[in-house]
Structures are given as structure tokens and as C-alpha cells.
Amino acid sequence: MPANTPVKFRLTSADVVHGFLLPDTNVNTMVVPGFVAEVRTSFAQPGEYEMPCHEFCGLGHHAMWARVSVVPKDQFAAQGPLERTRCAKQ
Ligand SMILES: [Cu+2]
């Protein structure tokens, strides 16, 4: 994601209640099956932001986290669509 840019996350769960937290931002919400949670924020500084699940959701809870990679705006604009997703690099 580009730094200093408004971003929106739309979240839902296919199984149980999860928690969605972005440390150092205003984002902290529950993700409930059957509902779509929508949160907005921006990242002031480039970096790697961890997104841990903060609601005990089952046996795999301890390993349930993801990461958002925030880069400077000009670097983001120079990337192609496939470079913007980590999945495309694997
Ligand atoms: Cu969890």
C-alpha cells in the first residue's frame, strides 16, 4: 500500500469471530461471520505492519496474523499490478 494515502479494508469471516488490529493506527475491529466490517485508515510511514488476530478464534489463533507492506507513494506508483501483491511474487 502507498504511505500517506487513505485506504479502506473490507473484512468478513467464513467461520468464527476474529479480531482485526493494525497497531499504530486507529484500526481495531471484530470480524463477524455474516457481516462486512469496513475500516479506514492511512499509514504515515512506510514499513511492515503486522495484523494479528486479537480475538481467540480456535486452535490456530496463535499463528493467525498477516502483514501489510507500506511503501512510499512514488515507489507504489512505479510498481506494476502484479508487483503490488505479495502473492504474485511467490
Ligand atoms: Cu484468532
CA 21 / ligand 1 centre spacing (Å): 11
**What pLDDT is attached to residue 80?**
81
Residue 78 and residue 90: Cα distance in Å, rounded? 20
Ligand 1 centroid – CA 78 distance (Å): 35
Q: How far is the CA of 52 from the centre of ligand 1 (A)?
A: 8
For position 86, what pLDDT does the model report? 62
Q: How far is it, in rounded angstroms, from Cα 14 to Cα 33? A: 6
Q: For residue 89, what pLDDT is reported?
A: 47
Average pLDDT, stretch 17-31? Answer: 92
Tell me the CA–centroid distance for residue 23 and ligand 1, in Å. 16
Spatial distance between the Cα atoms of 44 and 60, rounded to a whole number of angstroms:
31
pLDDT per position as a tens digit, 66-90: 888 899 999 998 988 777 776 544 4
Which whole number is the average pLDDT over 40-57?
Answer: 93
Residues 6+ apart with CB under 8 A from 27: 9, 20, 21, 39, 41
